[in-house]
């Protein structure tokens, strides 16, 4: 992991429990990586990731936790740029977040959606069985015949729609994210699971990020890597 990914200026290598060295104005320090810390952004469970989708756990320096600037700003729908000439990290916020009034029905529904998403992320993992998922999600599941992921070796596909308004129906194929339904609050969360030999191979969660009201797609891939970002760029 590169040092300039943390909320400091400069660059050097940082290893687990090792000392970080650099020239100029950057001091030598000792830091530790803590894999047990959980992070939420506006109530939604969140994991900092690098460009390859690998986890970037918090770094502990003198009892303080530090997170990668790029991942944090991206989660808050901002922009971050590195200026090599001035050795400066420039952060720009979007300023587009508009939260519903506290105590409103929309706020309560949003909180229920966040709770559901966090529970799904915490419980679902590669290799979990169909019986375990049925016991955990005691709601109606839709069996999908084909979603285009058969090249990954999947042999069965399930879809769950949570917080869907009564009578709502989308004509989109099941493998396509229903952005309109999510944005219009006709649908709260969609979970798509690909199976192989009755064990979870990969899954995706589509939802509206409360930070910027954009539709996001969280995905756990067969190799265990994770991606989480807006569907429409």
Give the percent of the chain with pLDDT over 70. 78
Q: What is the structure's pLDDT at 15?
A: 35
Q: What is the structure's pLDDT at 113?
A: 92
The residues, ordered by sequence, that sit 6+ positions from 223 with a Cβ below 8 Å of its Cβ are: none
Strongest mean pLDDT among 9-13, 42-46, 105-109, 195-199: 195-199
Write out the H or E segment, with its range, that includes residue 228: strand 226-230
For the segment 102-122, what is each residue's pLDDT rounded down to a tens digit? 555 567 888 899 899 999 999
Judged against a pLDDT cut of 90, whether residue 135 lies above it is answered with yes
Q: What is the structure's pLDDT at 147?
A: 55
Task: Flag whether the pTM goes above 0.75.
Answer: no
Q: What is the structure's pLDDT at 93?
A: 64
Q: What is the structure's pLDDT at 20?
A: 42
For the segment 9-34, what is each residue's pLDDT rounded down to a tens digit? 333 333 333 344 445 566 777 888 88
Neighbours of 84 (CB within 10 A): 8
- DSSP-derived secondary structure letter, 129: B
Find the range with the poorest average confidence among 59-63, 110-114, 138-142: 59-63
CA angle 34, 18, 9 (to 5 degrees): 80
Instruction: Say if CB 189 and CB 217 are below 8 A apart.
Output: no
Half-sphere exposure of 4 (CA within 13 A, CB side): 14
Sign of CA dihedral 11, 12, 16, 18: negative
φ and ψ at residue 229, rounded to 5 degrees: -165, 175
Mean pLDDT for the chain? 79
C-alpha to C-alpha distance for 2 and 89, rounded to whole angstroms: 13
Domain boundaries, the chain: 3-92, 105-230
Q: What is the structure's pLDDT at 149?
A: 55
The band of 68, judged by pLDDT with boundaries at 50, 70 and 90, is confident
Judged against a pLDDT cut of 60, whether residue 97 lies above it is answered with no
């Amino acid at each position: 992991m590169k040092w300039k990914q943390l909320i400091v200026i400069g660059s050097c290598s940082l290893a687990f429990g090792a000392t970080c060295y650099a020239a100029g104005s950057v001091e030598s320090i000792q830091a530790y990586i803590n894999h047990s810390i959980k992070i939420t952004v506006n109530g939604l469970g969140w994991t900092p990731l690098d460009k390859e989708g690998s986890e970037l756990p918090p770094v502990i320096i003198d009892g303080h936790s530090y997170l990668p600037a790029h991942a944090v700003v991206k989660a808050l729908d901002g922009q971050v740029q590195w200026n090599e000439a001035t050795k400066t990290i420039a952060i720009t916020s979007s300023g587009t977040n508009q939260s519903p009034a506290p105590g409103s029905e929309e706020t309560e529904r949003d909180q229920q959606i966040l709770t559901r998403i966090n529970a799904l992320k915490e419980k679902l993992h590669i290799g979990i069985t169909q019986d375990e998922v049925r016991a955990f999600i005691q709601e109606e599941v839709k069996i999908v015949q084909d979603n285009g992921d058969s090249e990954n070796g999947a042999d069965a596909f399930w879809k769950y729609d949570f917080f869907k308004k009564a009578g709502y129906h989308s004509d989109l194929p099941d493998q396509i994210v229903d952005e309109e339904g999510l944005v219009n609050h006709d649908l709260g969360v969609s979970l798509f699971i690909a199976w192989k030999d009755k064990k979870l191979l990969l899954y995706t969660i589509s939802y509206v990020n409360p930070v910027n009201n954009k539709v996001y797609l969280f995905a756990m891939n067969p190799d265990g890597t994770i991606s989480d970002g807006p569907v429409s760029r």
